Amino acid sequence: MTINSQFGAQKKMCYVLRLFVAGNAANSRIARENLERLQAKFPEHEFSIDIIDLNLKPETALEQGVFISPALQILEPVSGGVIYGNLSDSRVLEQALNLR
């Protein structure tokens, strides 16, 4: 989502995301690739993505209430959403981030 100022200029949005993965498992790898595609599709926005490997830090997922991987937690600009799965449905991902 871009925000237009009173002069019509577009404001760069910053998205803060946390991706929970299980090592290099197939769906985890696909989720990372799909996030890379999202970033390439929307270069006008900034994406800060923290990748948490559940094999190395399972406590982080438990603290966040994440029990399935891959899972994408949306922290900013609108907090609270979680998308489960490999993020292959770009429409759902874009809609959750208000990019559509």
Whether residue 3 is contained in a domain is answered as: no
Average pLDDT, integer, range 26-54: 96
One-letter identity of residue 26: A
Band of residue 4 on the pLDDT scale cut at 50, 70, 90: very low
Q: Quote the CA–CA distance of 52 and 23 in Å, as a whole number.
A: 9
How many Cα atoms are found within 13 Å in the side-chain-facing hemisphere of 66?
26
Residue-wise pLDDT tens digits, 75-90: 998 776 899 999 999 9
How many domains does the structure of the chain reveal? 1
Burial of residue 72, with CB atoms counted within 10 A of its CB: 0-12 exposed, 13-18 middle, 19 or more buried: buried
By residue range, what is the domain housing residue 24?
Answer: 18-96
Checking if the pLDDT of 1 tops 50, the result is no
Which pLDDT score, from 0 to 100, does residue 10 have? 56
CATH of the domain at 58: 3.40.30.10
Cis peptide before 58 (omega within 30 of 0): no
- 3-state SS class at 67: coil
Average pLDDT, integer, range 69-74: 96
Which pLDDT score, from 0 to 100, does residue 99 have? 83
Whether residue 2 is contained in a domain is answered as: no
Q: What is the CA radius of gyration of the chain?
A: 14
CA 52 to chain centre: 12
